[in-house]
Amino acid sequence: MSTRDFDQRYNAHLIASLAASVGIMLGSIGPWASFMAFTKNGLEGDGMITLILGVLSAVAMFTLFSRGSAGGTVIRWVAPAASVICLGIAIYDIMDVSSHTAEFFGETIGVQIGWGLWLVVISSAILFLTSTTVAKKPRNRDGIPPGSEVRN
């Protein structure tokens, strides 16, 4: 694998991580639960936490993108850590929303999970995969990935 191919894959993961961070932010302000005509947005509950974590992830990934992977170890691991927390919050809220049911004229009806909560789950999983790849990138002084040195 050449250095150019390696850098293109690295940049692709960075861009995907940025997009996933935006997905977390959008999902955090979207509806997380609905029941008949009533909806509950993410910002009315745990969505504020996921919104802040999404912003932190986006800032960390943008910093790495603008510095060309010269960021410190702490910045590299902000997005993977934030994605795990967001995923945990979203899964907990999905289980909580799914557990609410009511009887209505003899029929059991329940609260529906909103698109915002699903977007947080999907974006958090994508952010974890892509940002972990970014965080694990080897940092050589000459910028050449391991195994791509020219051998004579």
pLDDT of residue 138: 62
65-90 mean pLDDT: 86
Lowest mean pLDDT among 31-40, 54-63, 135-144: 135-144
Contact present, 124 and 21 (Cβ < 8 Å): no
Around Cβ 108, how many Cβ atoms within 10 Å? 8
Integer Cα distance of 57 and 1 in angstroms: 29
pTM of the shown model: 0.80
**Which of 145, 117, 116, 137 minimizes the C-alpha distance to 64?**
137
Q: CB 94: neighbour CB atoms within 10 A?
A: 17
- Planar angle of CA 60, 62, 65, nearest 5 degrees: 115
Which tokens belong to 14? 């960075």
Q: Which residue has the higher pLDDT, 146 or 59?
A: 59
Cα dihedral sign for 103, 104, 109, 110? negative
pLDDT above 50 (res 31):
yes
The Cα diameter of the chain in Å comes to 80
pLDDT at residue 132 tops 90: yes
Whether residue 37 is predicted with pLDDT greater than 80 in this model: the reply is no
- Of the ranges 39-48, 116-125, 137-146, which is most confident? 116-125
- CB-CB neighbours of 49 under 10 Å: 15
Query: What pLDDT score does 141 carry?
Result: 41
Q: Of 45-49, 113-117, 119-123, which one has max mean pLDDT?
A: 119-123
pLDDT (mean) for 96-101: 80
Cα–Cα nearest to 63, from 21, 26, 102: 21
Mean pLDDT over all residues of the chain?
Answer: 84
- Report the pLDDT value the prediction gives residue 16, as an integer from 0 to 100: 94
Is the predicted pLDDT of residue 108 greater than 90, yes or no?
no
